Amino acid sequence: MSATESVRVRVPAKVNVQLAVGAARPDGFHDLANVFLAVGLYDEITVTPADELRITCTGPDAAQVPLDRTNLAARAALALAQRHGIDPRVHIHIAKDIPVAGGMAGGSADGAGALLACDTLWSLDTSRDELLAICAELGSDVPFSLIGGAALGTGRGEQLTPLAVGGDFHWVFAVADGGLSTPTVFREFDRRTEGTPVPAPSADPALLEALRTGDATALAGALSNDLQPAALTLRPSLADTLAAGTAAGALASLVSGSGPTTAFLTKDPDAAKEVAEALHTSGTCRTARVASSPAKGATVV
Ligand code: C5P
């Protein structure tokens, strides 16, 4: 590849089919048993040689994306360049389709995507383990954006064990107006659990078995998110969205990660279309998107 060519990487969103949260640790993070599932909504990151590090973004939510060095894509390029003693002279373009600040790891996707794209553009051939270590420095969800598929995340969510998935699952995601700040949702979790013992988080064997066998009904019965009560306290209107999706025939509904996106598991693609239409007309969300899982992790396209 010549030095002037661009590299484009596609990165999926995620939903947490289980998010078990432990007590706050001394470093402020929480130990998790976090079962990630990558879903087929994607951001595309294109990197092109430039005079200096620069970020642009297009897409319906582009106005909410920071274009400075706080963007995880910029931080990824800087971290990789620093390790190799090179100048991160690159234009990073983000074609954003994942909801912003929505609990679907859109920012993490951009970090993982920029890392893989720059590694390819600069022909660095960094090992998978080192890329994962850089991802973990960037944020708790970034390693999963790189690997995709399904995985159990322990520690603060960054220590991954890939999981087998025996079939496709069909989802609808209801996108809310505005975002929710992840630290604020965790703080609300702390407030709600103050003075009560918080059990150590562990993965639910029934949920792992449902993933392994590709059984949507069993997965629906096992979905759980310990952050959901906190997200509902901060955004009470999400209860109406969850109720609208359930009334429209979803097998189960839950808040995605720290929210405010809500996720609806359906039995097949036709049911997903029906639930999406019902959510559209319910007036309880900004838009509803259909997507299936699992999806591949960050991939050069
Ligand atoms: O790792 P990341 O930068 O994505 O985390 C964002 C914030 O979410 C953290 O600063 C922390 O407030 C909260 N968090 C947490 N425990 C985790 C992951 C994130 O408290 N396991």
The predicted-structure confidence for 153-186, as pLDDT tens digits, reads as follows 999 999 999 999 999 999 999 999 988 999 999 9
pLDDT in tens, 196-230: 999 999 999 999 999 999 999 999 999 999 999 99
What are the start and end residues of each CATH 3.30.230.10 domain in the chain?
Answer: 7-163
Which among 108, 101, 98 has a CA at the least distance from the CA of 76? 108
For ligand 1, the distance from its centroid to the CA atom of residue 184, given in whole angstroms, is: 10
**5-36 confidence digits (pLDDT tens):** 999 999 999 999 999 999 999 999 999 999 99
Ligand 1 proximity of 122 Cβ (cutoff 6 Å): no
What average pLDDT does the segment 74-87 reach? 97
Query: Is 267 considered catalytic here?
Result: no
CATH 3.30.230.10 fits 7-163, yes or no: yes
Check pocket membership of 140 for ligand 1, CB cut-off 6 A.
Answer: yes
Q: Decide if 14 is catalytic.
A: yes
pLDDT for residue 4: 58
The residue with tokens 């995985």 is 151
Question: From the alpha carbon of 108, which atom of ligand 1 is closest?
Answer: 4
**Ligand 1: nearest atom to the Cα of 31:** 21
CA of residue 200 to ligand 1 center, whole Å: 17
Query: What is the arithmetic mean of pLDDT over 55-76?
Result: 96
Q: Confirm or reject: Cβ of 102 under 6 Å from ligand 1.
A: no
Confidence of residue 288 (pLDDT cuts 50, 70, 90): very high
Distance 2 CA to ligand 1 centre (A): 39
The answer, yes or no, to whether residue 2 has pLDDT greater than 60, is no
- How many other β-carbons are positioned within 10 Å of the β-carbon of residue 282? 17
Mean pLDDT of 231-241: 98
Q: pLDDT of 150-162, one tens digit each?
A: 999 999 999 999 9
- Ligand 1 atom having least distance to the Cα of 157: 21
Task: Give the Å distance between the CA of 6 and the centre of ligand 1.
Answer: 32
Protein residue closest via CA to atom 14 of ligand 1? 29
Cβ 157 under 6 angstroms from ligand 1: yes
- Give me the catalytic one of 43, 61, 110, 141: 141
Whether residue 99 contacts residue 263, with contact meaning beta carbons closer than 8 Å, is answered with: no
- What pLDDT was estimated at residue 8? 98
Residue 173 Cβ contacting ligand 1 at under 6 Å = no
Average pLDDT score over the chain:
96
Task: Name the catalytic one among 14, 61, 96, 97.
Answer: 14
Question: Which residue lies with its CA nearest to atom 11 of ligand 1?
Answer: 183
Rounded alpha-carbon distances, angstroms, from residue 264 to 215, 233, 279, 292: 15, 20, 10, 11
**Mean pLDDT, to the nearest integer, of 93-103?**
94
253 Ramachandran zone, left/alpha/beta (phi>0; psi -120 to 50):
beta
Taking phi over 0 as left and psi of -120 to 50 as alpha, with beta for the rest, 231 belongs to alpha
Spatial strand order of the sheet with 262-266 comes to: 252-255, 262-266, 169-175, 287-293
How far does residue 182's CA lie from ligand 1's centre (Å)? 7
Mutation probe of ligand 1 site: the residue of 72, 182, 189, 190 with most atoms within 8 A of C-beta: 182
Q: What's the gap in Å between 29 CA and the centre of ligand 1?
A: 6
Start-end ranges of CATH 3.30.70.890 in the chain?
A: 169-293
**pLDDT at position 1, please?**
46
- Average pLDDT, integer, range 269-293: 97
Q: Which fold has domain 169-293?
A: Alpha-Beta Plaits (3.30.70)
